[in-house]
Structure formats: C-alpha cells, structure tokens
C-alpha cells in the first residue's frame, strides 16, 4: 500500500498578478470557454466532474502551461528589487490553473480513465517534466530567489515563511541551478544518461520477467492452489501456445501462490531460481553493466552538487537527514529480526523433515512450509472473517474512529459532482459543526481504474488570501456488490481502508498558509506514517467491536477469531522483516559508495549480505539486478522508508496506549496538531513536539513479536 503522490507539486494556488493587459484579455477569452479554466461555482468549489469532457484536458493544459510561463516571466521582469512577496510568494502562487488541472487530471486518469485520457497522459508526461525543468533551471529566476535567500535573516519572516524560502531555494540548488559552464553541461549530460539507463533497466526486467515460463501437465504439481488461480494458469498456458496444462510465470500473483501451494520441490526451485536470476543471465537483458554505470554516475552527480554520496544527497531532503541515521535504526532492529527468522527456519525445516524429506531445507521451500505450519498451528481461515467486514461497515468504522479521536462527523453529499456514479462524497465537519473539508471515496474495482489503493489531493489546503479548504479522495479496488451478495472484505483489505483514510486525514487536518507545504507534501520517510498508524487502531478489539459485525446476523466478531487472526498474521514476521531489510541495506550500500569505480555487481552484493550475516535461505526481497525501486523507480536511498514509518507508527500508537486509553483526547489533539503542520516544519521536530522525544524502536519490536 503506497500513497501515489502523482501531482508534480511545488508552486500552486491563489490569484496571479499579470502586468500585461493585452495578453491577459486574450487569455481570459480563451479560458472562459474551457470549464477546467473557469471558476468553479459548485458546492464547496468541488471540481465540476459532470461537466468536464475528456477532450477538455489537453487544450486546458496548453493554455495553463502558456499562462504559467508568462507568470514566471513577470516575476523575472519585475523592476523592483527581489523580495519575499514579489519573488518567493509570487512563485508559490504562480501556476494556479496548471496545478489545479494537474491534480484533477491525474486523479481522474488513475480512477476512471479512457483512451482519450491515456493519450493525454502519454503526451503530457515529457512536456510537464521539461516545463518544470525550464522553471527550476532558469538562471534569472534563480538569481532573484538567491537574492532573497541571501538576506533571509533580515526579512523578519514567520517560521513558515522562512521554511517556504528555504524549500524553494533548496529546490533550485538540488536541481543544479548553482552550476555554470562545464559542470552544468556535465550535469545535464548525467541526467540524460541516468534517465536512459533507468529506462533500459526497467525494460530488461520486464523482458526477463515475461520470457520465463514453467509449464506442467501434472495436476499434482498444483497442490492446493485455489481454483480461481488454477484457472488463470490454465489460460496462461493457452496464451503461451500449449494445448493443455498449466503455466506459471515470474509475476508475483503467479509465482507466489505456486511457491506456497506446490508440493513439487523441483518445480518450486525452478521458479524460485528463475525469479532470483532475472537481469543476471549474461544475455541481452542483463542489468549488471547498467547498475555499474548508474551507481557510478550517481556518485559523480552527488559530487557536482556538493555531496559525498548519492545517499547523502537524497537524504538531506528526508526526515532521516543522513545515511548514518538510516543505518543506525536498521542496525538496532536487524539482530532481533534475524534471530526470529532463524527460529522460523528451524520450525519450517523440522516440518519438512517430519514429512520424510531428508534433503536440506532451502529458500524455495520456505513459503510452502510457512503456509503448512500456519494452517496446522492456527487453524485460521481468512474466508471465515469476511462476513464481518462488509465494506459499508468498515467505512463506518473509520468514521466512528475519527469521531472518537477527533470529534469529526461525516455527512454524505448528493449534490456534488462525481467522476463515477459509484463514487461517494462526504462533507467532513468539526465537533462544533464547522466545515473542515471534503472527502470522496471510490470503492470498487472496474476496468477504468488502475490497481491498488491510494489517496489524492484534489484541492490542497492553503490560507494566503482566505482559507481554501482541502478536498481529498480515497480509492480502492474492492469487489463490487452483486445481486447475490454484498462486498465483503478480507482483514487486510479492511486494513487498507484505515490506511488510506490516514492519508486523507493528513490532507484534511492541514492548517498552513502555503499550499506547497500543506498536508501530504512531506518527505517520503514521513508520508506513510499518518496512514500506517491508523492500522494500529483497526486491529484493536475495542475498535473491531465498533464495526466488525456479521452482515447477516449483526453479531460482533468473536474474540477467539480476533486472536487467531492476529497470531496467524504475525507468524513469519522474522522472514518478511529480514527479506525487506536486506533489500533496504543493499540500497544503502550501493548508494553510500564514495567513488565512481565500477563494481562487480554479484560480488558486491554477496559481500554486503555476508557482512549482515544474512542466512542463505533468505534472499533480499529485491536483488540488485531486479531492484527496480532503486534502479528504475524513484526510491534510491529510500527503500528504508516503509520501515522507518513503521517505527514511527508503532511508537506514536504507544503514546496513546501509555495513557491507558487508545482514544485519549489530549494525545489525539497533539497528534492532530502534528499532522496539521504538513511540511511546514521538519518531520523530526514535529514528531518530538508530539511525543516529547525521538521515536524508539521498542514498540515496533514488541508489535512484531521480536521482544
């Protein structure tokens, strides 16, 4: 569950001072014919989804981009000396239409797309990237920003104003605005190379994943694979040109259930090895040379921008601040998780032995025996819990929790425009009845929606010339109710609702002046904290009893079922933690290299894992040659973030527990205050204000059963 922060962010909101009368009139004429560029006279200023046509987006973007370029020009050509208002605040408030459009377009494209929107998306991505490059690499604009930055001590700015100035300045510096001549040219060259290497890495991985196939005609190989998955692998076999049998691939939804279900050791090993060797087969799709070049160029880039390592460059903008902080917290957790994983290994190997198999227990056996031991020990059937998690009941559960903690209430609205008939909209009200914001919830899977669950901001909160209230969305892929029955969720699907609702609260609670500092505009290692923390409440019996009621009988979920569910879920936590952490370490090892020497990828990885004491039955969740998060996604030096957020969420929940009341209103007030600050203060400062101290790892150790 990852929050997808889609919008290109930075510089949004409010009205614009445009000096050029002629252009302004021309713009307005063109603009008022396109609904996306008009003022929205809808309830709460919600986007007029019912009136927006897919064909409106591209022309609207054309005008909005043009308009933003003119606004930037106006800032640069201002005859007055640069000051906070005419430069920093002007930059912040420029691009109002562009940013509002970006938010709306990406939200709709993700949740309810069509061919027209897909075409717009393709055309738009490179144009937006180069537009923002033009802004941030504009030397005259940077001169003005720097002039204001250099006198920041004398400007008597508010704390938030100073934060905005620092952040805007940093944005330019991190993009290389300080470089001139040869280093500037080299940076541009490196950026282009990095982009094409990353792209090639992803392409190779896709090829390697798609080429592999394991085909069988022996039904026994399937073991107790669920019928629906068996049917899918039957279809896969036909697609791949077989007349009969079942085909399995290296896509996770195909390989994982097979590894869990198949009693055929040899077949398991074949798939397991196929997965582990992707990008490492010495063929055309091999990723090793790409990794060498990527890691070397990243060091060179970091050096150009004044940092020793790539990780140092990336983390200077994160809550962790520096690589040492990341290693420190992982080093504390690692031994406990490793010890637990070793215990799990013993239990699994013993179980295999008891079946009369005398060979050595190996990595490809792990998942199969986990499922077996889980069933034997806990007799837990996830299907039996579904009737207690009907989706409306779960939704009312998060609303009830928000009322208990923060006094919020939710009123369904039928008069606001929606992007799909299944979407629901709620006005969020404070305890005293005042308006806080709007939340849209879109629950069901459909062809026009991408997979997963996520939160978007349609309108960010801000308060420059009056309060702009936030409008946020939550999106899921739950099965829609049918004539035969309601939409019943699994425990983890219900947990996802609490998770995404946590992101929504982060957006709704925002109380800052500048929208680029509002809500979820926070570093990557903070952003999952407000969402993950909500999952803690969900699994508390006190909260479950508020909403987990059988959809037919109305009976509250039995205590015994809650206990079984918790025990079964926590079994194998050593393995999942170790496999994740090994990858997080690998990421950090690659990105704390200080020189540009080209490393042999396999021996580098082997050495790193050996130093950790990783047991050979466990591989890093991603090995280097298929670690797309860090080599073709945006997570380099950031894969640790999920666990970092887990430390925060367990420690924050502990603050509630310590009061003896998980709904304690004083603690909830401080928690809300922390979220209301968005990115207007450094994450650690906010956390310490809330908790009175920096986060400790003990609550997480306890939660994971390590202590």
Among 216, 531, 536, 645, binds Zn ion (CB under 5 A): 531
- Confirm or reject binding of residue 3 to Zn ion (CB under 5 A): yes
- Confirm or reject binding of residue 456 to Zn ion (CB under 5 A): no
Cβ proximity to Zn ion: between 506 and 589 the closer is: 506
Cβ proximity to Zn ion: between 3 and 187 the closer is: 3
- Among 161-169, 378-386, 513-521, 525-533, which window interacts with Zn ion (CB under 5 A)? 525-533
> Burial level of 555, CB count in 10 A (0-12/13-18/19+)?
exposed
Cβ proximity to Zn ion: between 274 and 638 the closer is: 638
Cβ proximity to Zn ion: between 3 and 320 the closer is: 3
Residue of 500, 528, 617, 646 marked active site: 500
Cβ proximity to Zn ion: between 2 and 206 the closer is: 2
Q: What is the CA radius of gyration of the chain?
A: 27
- Among 297-305, 474-482, 524-532, 663-671, which window interacts with Zn ion (CB under 5 A)? 524-532
Compute the distance between CA of residue 421 and CA of residue 227 in angstroms, rounded to an integer. Answer: 32
Site size for Zn ion, by CB under 5 A?
4
Q: Hey, which residues does 667 pair with through a beta bridge?
A: none
Compute the distance between CA of residue 393 and CA of residue 488 in angstroms, rounded to an integer. Answer: 10
Q: Where are the alpha helices (DSSP H) in 240-322?
A: 252-261, 265-276, 288-304, 310-315
Compute the distance between CA of residue 651 and CA of residue 446 in angstroms, rounded to an integer. Answer: 37
Please provide the size of the chain in residues. 707
Whether the CB-CB separation of 250 and 271 falls below 8 Å is answered with yes
Compute the distance between CA of residue 644 and CA of residue 638 in angstroms, rounded to an integer. Answer: 10
- Among 205-213, 517-525, 528-536, 587-595, which window interacts with Zn ion (CB under 5 A)? 528-536
Residue nearest to Zn ion (CB): 3
Report, in Å, the least distance between residue 494 CB and Zn ion: 15
DSSP 84: I
Cβ proximity to Zn ion: between 535 and 605 the closer is: 535
Report, in Å, the least distance between residue 145 CB and Zn ion: 32
- Tokens for 256? 């994982």
Of the candidates 506, 447, 444, the one whose C-alpha atom is nearest the C-alpha of residue 477 is 444
Compute the distance between CA of residue 92 and CA of residue 87 in angstroms, rounded to an integer. Answer: 8
Instruction: Return the axis-axis angle of helices 573-591 and 288-304, rounded to nearest 10°.
Output: 60
Report, in Å, the least distance between residue 440 CB and Zn ion: 17
- Among 75-83, 335-343, 381-389, 530-538, which window interacts with Zn ion (CB under 5 A)? 530-538
Report, in Å, the least distance between residue 341 CB and Zn ion: 26
Phi, psi of 679 (to 5 degrees): -105, 20
HEC sequence for 396-439:
HHHHHHHHHHHCCEEEECCCCCCCCCCCEEEEEECCCCCEEEEE
Cβ proximity to Zn ion: between 3 and 165 the closer is: 3
- Tokens for 45? 């200023």
Report, in Å, the least distance between residue 500 CB and Zn ion: 7
Cβ proximity to Zn ion: between 492 and 552 the closer is: 492
DSSP 45: G
Would you list the DSSP string of 185-219?
Answer: HHHHHHHHHHHHHHHHHHHHHHHHHHH--EEE--G
Instruction: Return the axis-axis angle of helices 181-211 and 288-304, rounded to nearest 10°.
Output: 150
- Confirm or reject binding of residue 647 to Zn ion (CB under 5 A): no
Report, in Å, the least distance between residue 400 CB and Zn ion: 21
Whether the CB-CB separation of 249 and 255 falls below 8 Å is answered with yes
Report, in Å, the least distance between residue 526 CB and Zn ion: 12
Catalytic site includes residue 500: yes
> Burial level of 32, CB count in 10 A (0-12/13-18/19+)?
exposed
Of the candidates 363, 332, 371, 351, the one whose C-alpha atom is nearest the C-alpha of residue 706 is 332
- Among 3-11, 290-298, 416-424, 660-668, which window interacts with Zn ion (CB under 5 A)? 3-11
- Among 2-10, 66-74, 125-133, 250-258, which window interacts with Zn ion (CB under 5 A)? 2-10
Would you list the DSSP string of 98-165?
Answer: HHHHHHHHHHHHHHS--HHHHHHHHHHHHHHHHHHHHHHT-HHHHHHHHHHHTTGGGS---HHHHHHH
Of the candidates 503, 439, 460, 508, the one whose C-alpha atom is nearest the C-alpha of residue 95 is 460
Cβ proximity to Zn ion: between 390 and 528 the closer is: 528
Report, in Å, the least distance between residue 527 CB and Zn ion: 7
Cβ proximity to Zn ion: between 82 and 530 the closer is: 530
Residues classed as catalytic: 500
Query: What residues make contact with Zn ion under the rule CB under 5 A?
Result: 1, 3, 528, 531
């Amino acid at each position: 569950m990852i929050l997808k922060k889609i919008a290109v962010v930075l510089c949004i909101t409010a009205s614009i001072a445009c000096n050029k009368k002629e252009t302004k009139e021309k713009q307005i004429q063109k603009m008022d014919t396109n609904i996306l560029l008009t003022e929205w006279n809808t309830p709460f200023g919600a986007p007029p989804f019912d009136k927006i046509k897919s064909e409106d987006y591209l022309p609207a973007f054309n005008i909005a981009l043009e308009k933003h370029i003119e606004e930037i020009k106006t800032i640069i050509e201002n005859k007055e000396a640069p000051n906070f208002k005419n430069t920093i605040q002007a930059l912040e408030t420029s691009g109002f239409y562009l940013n509002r459009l970006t938010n709306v377009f990406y939200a709709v494209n993700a949740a309810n797309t069509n061919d027209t929107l897909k075409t717009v998306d393709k055309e738009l991505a490179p144009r937006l990237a180069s537009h923002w490059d033009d802004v941030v690499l504009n030397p005259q604009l940077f001169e003005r920003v720097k002039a204001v930055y250099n006198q920041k001590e004398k400007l008597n700015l508010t704390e938030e104003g100073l934060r905005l100035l620092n952040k805007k300045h940093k944005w330019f510096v991190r993009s290389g605005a300080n470089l001139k001549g040869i280093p500037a040219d080299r940076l541009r060259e490196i950026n282009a190379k990095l982009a094409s290497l990353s792209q090639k890495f992803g392409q190779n991985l896709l090829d390697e994943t798609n080429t592999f196939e394991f085909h069988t005609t022996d039904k026994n190989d399937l073991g107790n694979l669920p019928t629906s998955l068996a049917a899918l692998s039957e279809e896969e076999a036909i697609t791949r040109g077989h007349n009969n049998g079942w085909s399995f691939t290296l896509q996770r939804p195909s390989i994982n259930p097979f590894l869990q279900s198949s009693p055929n050791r040899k077949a398991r090993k074949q798939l397991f090895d196929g997965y582990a060797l992707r990008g490492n087969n010495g063929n055309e799709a091999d990723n090793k040379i790409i990794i060498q070049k990527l890691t070397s160029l990243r060091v060179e880039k970091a050096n150009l921008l004044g940092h020793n390592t790539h990780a140092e460059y990336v983390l200077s903008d994160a809550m962790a601040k520096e690589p040492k902080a990341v290693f420190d917290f992982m080093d504390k957790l690692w031994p406990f998780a490793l010890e637990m994983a070793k215990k799990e290994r013993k239990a699994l190997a013993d179980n295999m032995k008891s079946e009369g198999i005398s060979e050595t227990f190996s990595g490809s056996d792990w998942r199969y025996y986990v499922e077996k031991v889980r069933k034997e020990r806990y007799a837990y059937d996830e299907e039996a819990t579904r009737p207690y998690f009907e989706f409306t009941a779960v939704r009312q559960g998060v609303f009830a929790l928000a009322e208990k903690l923060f006094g919020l209430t939710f009123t369904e609205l039928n008069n606001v425009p929606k992007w799909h008939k299944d979407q629901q909209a709620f006005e969020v009200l404070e305890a005293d009845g005042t308006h806080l914001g709007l939340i849209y919830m879109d629950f069901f899977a459909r062809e026009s929606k991408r997979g997963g669950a996520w939160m978007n901001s349609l309108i960010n909160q801000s308060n420059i010339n009056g309060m702009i209230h936030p409008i946020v969305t939550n999106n899921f892929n739950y099965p829609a109710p049918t004539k035969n029955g309601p939409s019943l969720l699994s425990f983890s699907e219900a947990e996802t609702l609490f998770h995404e609702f946590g992101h929504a609260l982060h957006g709704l609670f925002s109380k800052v002046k500048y929208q680029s500092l509002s809500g979820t505009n926070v570093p990557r290692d903070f952003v999952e904290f407000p969402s993950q923390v909500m999952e803690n409440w969900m699994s508390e019996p006190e909260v479950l009893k508020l909403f987990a009621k059988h959809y037919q009988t109305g009976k509250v979920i039995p205590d015994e079922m809650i206990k079984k569910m918790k025990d079964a879920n926590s079994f194998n936590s050593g393995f999942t933690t170790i496999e994740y952490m090994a990858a997080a370490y690998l990421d950090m090892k690659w990105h704390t290299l200080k020189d540009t020497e080209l490393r042999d990828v396999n021996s580098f990885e082997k050495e790193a894992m050996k130093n950790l004491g990783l047991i050979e039955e466990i591989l890093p969740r991603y090995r280097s040659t298929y670690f797309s998060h860090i080599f073709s996604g945006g997570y380099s030096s950031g894969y640790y973030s999920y666990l970092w957020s887990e430390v925060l969420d367990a420690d924050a929940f502990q603050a509630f527990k310590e009061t003896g009341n998980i709904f304690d209103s004083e603690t909830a007030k401080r928690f809300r205050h922390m979220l209301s600050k968005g990115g207007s203060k450094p994450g650690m400062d906010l956390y310490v204000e809330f908790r009175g101290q920096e986060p400790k790892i003990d609550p997480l150790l306890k939660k994971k059963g390590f202590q």
